[in-house]
Amino acid sequence: MSKVQKLKSTTDAFLKASKSIYGPEISGSHLINGKLKRGENFFQSLNPADLSDVVGSFPSASKKDIDETVKAAAAAYEKWRKVPAPVRGNAIGRLAQVLEREKENLAKIITREIGKTLKESLGEVQEAIDTALFFQSEGRRLYGQTVPSELPQKELMTYRRPLGVCLMITASNFPFAVPSWKIIPALIAGNTVIWKSSQDAPATALSFAMCFQEAGFPAGVVNLIHGDGEVGQTCLEYVEKGLVQKVSFTGSTAVGKKIGEICGRALQIPSLELGGKNPLIIYKDADLDKAIPTSIVSCYGTAGQRCTSTGNIIIHKDIYDEFKSKFMKAASGIKIGNPLLSKNILYGPLIAERYLQNFLKHLEWGKKDGGRLLFGNGRISKKNPYPNFSGDPDAGWFVTPTLWEGVKKDMRLFQEEIFGPTVNLVKVNSFDEAMECANGHDYGLSSAIFTEDAHLMLEFKENIQAGMSSINNSTTGAEAHLPFGGIKGSGNGTRESGIWVLDSYTRWHAVNVDLASQLQLAQMDTDYGDFREPISFKDWVK
């Protein structure tokens, strides 16, 4: 039986027979040291567009499970780090082939489990494919440097070295693409991985982990465990024990700060990709034919559940009324529905009930905050219908697109990330005021401006406080070969993607080789052109 056939028989083992129109129910497992472990203390993953659909049941990792996983990853590291980097790259190339073959099936699992449209889910898998293809070649480019020495017959050089066991804690909104940004570069650098999946997307995580299995990664190199935030906290205990050498986290700023404290005590630098309240400036010379549809997708795509979603649209007073009128007309036509049953929808449900509750609360405090609600009335249901909804609204966590105006910089609406399909219109009198607003919050992830003025483009690029910026484009969207990450409350300066991420998963090792026949000391025995007779070791010792 071939490896692929063996894998198919293995994956068949965790699929239950089901009459669901969405597909089989999964009997989920951890993946520890190359083996599926069913575990105990199960939780269910539900389809947020149809809560009657049980995607699967999954074990919550126990302390014993985590112990086993850490030991497996540590043992595998001693072998994996010694595998030549081009050979590690070949394994990642095989992963890309598996992902390409299974792209549509994987996308359907993502859509079923977190409710984003199939088009977006296909894009997620494609991003993982792009990442794998990019880092496959980096296996032949993990360059160090040769450096000239100030002494004769001496060589200086640097090497990238892996860190060890890497703990990846990922969020639900990009359950496939974001883990690929973390796991693949960690592997090409020679590290091993413990992946704590999002509690909202365990089926997606397991399907991805099985792709690593089929690609032929050795047992223990990629390990997957499931559970909620408490499981993640338990995993973090191993950082201070010295058993985990790197943490990469995507999630809220509050949790990111706690992880930063833990890693700081262990003298480690975590990778923290956190929240955002991303500004989109519409200047008075903007091309509204492009700016309007771009803004709609930037605000409401993925039901606003992107860390890069636009939070504040900052509009010059001269075109405010025109923009507002056209934006409201476009937004009023947004189609919503079950993404596996409805075609041509912009967004589906919120991922989980806790996101729904947070979204509904913001409708209450937003009015007290002083915002004027232009449209948006909360959860869509049969009793609270939405005209452009298709399907059964009571089946899932669906909400209407929401728009506020009269929002000022000191308001909670302006400052806080909501994580849902809501956005604020902010009127400004000048470019300087627009920039002041764009930088006037605690986040610094993504940003964008619409203008035809090249000088303002330059000024925007130079003065915006963000890790990523777009000109005449959306605040959302990323490509696998550009650095992804933010500043201020959006991150700690580390980056995902592209060659820059390798700095997060390697350490620099400086080596000098002295081929001289006698002792020579840098700085002290260096001839800087005065040609004086150097003092030697013989002068110090009888």
Model pLDDT, residue 527: 75
Residue 512 lies in a domain: no
Average pLDDT rounded to a whole number, residues 46-52: 97
Residue 517 lies in a domain: no
Model pLDDT, residue 523: 84
Q: How confident is the model at residue 15 (pLDDT cuts 50, 70, 90)?
A: very low
Query: pLDDT digits over 305-335, tens only?
Result: 999 999 999 999 999 999 999 999 999 999 9
Residues 282 and 270 in one domain: no
Q: Which of 166, 235, 299, 307 is catalytic?
A: 307
Residues 6+ apart with CB under 8 A from 496: 178, 181, 182, 271, 273, 483, 484, 485, 504
- How many Cα atoms within 13 Å fall on the side-chain side of residue 246? 30
pLDDT value at 395 more than 90: yes
pTM attached to this predicted model:
0.93
In this structure, which long-range contacts are made by residues 370-373, counting pairs with CB atoms below 8 Å and at least 24 apart in sequence?
370/406, 370/407, 370/408, 370/411, 370/413, 371/404, 371/405, 371/406, 371/407, 371/411, 371/413, 371/424, 372/404, 372/405, 372/406, 373/402, 373/403, 373/404
Residues 47 and 161 in one domain: yes
Residues 298 and 435 in one domain: yes
307 among known catalytic residues: yes
Domain of residue 228 covers 3-274+497-505
Output the domain CATH number for residue 50: 3.40.605.10
pLDDT value at 10 more than 60: no
Average pLDDT rounded to a whole number, residues 326-355: 97
Query: pLDDT digits over 113-144, tens only?
Result: 999 999 999 999 999 999 999 999 999 999 99
Model pLDDT, residue 40: 87
Q: What is the DSSP letter of 507?
A: E
Q: Between 20 and 292, whose confidence is greater?
A: 292
Model pLDDT, residue 401: 98
Output the domain CATH number for residue 432: 3.40.309.10
pLDDT value at 1 more than 70: no
Model pLDDT, residue 532: 63
Residue 81 lies in a domain: yes
Average pLDDT rounded to a whole number, residues 354-360: 97
Residues 216 and 308 in one domain: no
Residue 511 lies in a domain: no
pLDDT value at 486 more than 60: yes
Average pLDDT rounded to a whole number, residues 466-491: 95
Model pLDDT, residue 480: 86
Residue 522 lies in a domain: no
**Tokens 């409350």 found at:** 489
235 among known catalytic residues: no
Q: What tokens appear for 302 in the block?
A: 């993925």
Distance of CA 310 to the CA centre of its chain: 17
Query: pLDDT digits over 362-386, tens only?
Result: 999 999 999 999 999 999 999 999 9
CA nearest neighbour of 205 among 220, 186, 183: 183
pLDDT value at 417 more than 90: yes
CA nearest neighbour of 182 among 440, 507, 505, 514: 505
pLDDT value at 19 more than 60: no
Residues 202 and 342 in one domain: no
How many domains are there within the chain? 2
Share of residues in the chain with pLDDT > 90 (%): 90
Q: How confident is the model at residue 537 (pLDDT cuts 50, 70, 90)?
A: low
Q: How confident is the model at residue 535 (pLDDT cuts 50, 70, 90)?
A: low
Q: What tokens appear for 515 in the block?
A: 């081929």
Residues 255 and 387 in one domain: no
Q: Which of 113, 127, 273, 417 is catalytic?
A: 273
Model pLDDT, residue 14: 43
pLDDT averaged over the chain? 94
Q: What tokens appear for 129 in the block?
A: 């494919």
Q: Between 526 and 302, whose confidence is greater?
A: 302
